[in-house]
């Protein structure tokens, strides 16, 4: 099977005027392109590794204990808003929207022929 394919390729090559040098140049060109693509991939990976931010060793600090006296007014407002939203969701006080869509045609100079 492979010899038949080889004979067919040689016959077609001879008819098209393709010589051994043409095959050599073609294979060499493909090899150069593949090598350059692989080199490009490794260069880009290396640059990505170099540009990546490095994390410094973090010294563990003792956690601050937050007491009720240190709560700010903003925290209190956020808590009140969360409770209000939870009560609103629990009691189901939602707006009931109609499902009718009303589209009015708006005539402009762009669609005056329509």
Indicate whether 20 belongs to any domain: yes
Token digits for 2?
């492979």
- Region 62-70 average pLDDT: 58
Structural domain span for residue 45: 2-51
* Number of domains composing the chain: 1
Token digits for 37?
């693509």
CA distance 108 to 96: 34
pLDDT of residue 2: 62
Cut 0.85: pTM above it = no
Q: Is the pLDDT of residue 46 over 80?
A: yes
CA distance 101 to 106: 15
Indicate whether 82 belongs to any domain: no
Indicate whether 72 belongs to any domain: no
Beta-carbon contacts of 23 under 8 Å, excluding residues fewer than 6 positions away, are: 13
């Amino acid at each position: 099977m492979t010899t038949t394919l080889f004979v067919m390729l040689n016959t077609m090559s001879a008819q098209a005027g393709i010589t051994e040098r043409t095959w050599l140049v073609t294979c060499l060109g493909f090899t150069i392109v593949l090598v350059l693509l692989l080199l490009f991939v490794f260069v880009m990976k290396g640059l990505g590794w170099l540009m990546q931010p490095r994390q410094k060793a973090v010294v563990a600090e003792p956690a601050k204990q937050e007491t009720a006296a240190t709560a700010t007014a903003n925290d209190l407002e956020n808590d009140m808003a969360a409770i209000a939203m939870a009560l609103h969701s629990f009691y189901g006080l939602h707006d009931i929207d109609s499902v009718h869509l009303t589209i009015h045609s708006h005539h402009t100079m762009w669609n005056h022929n329509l």
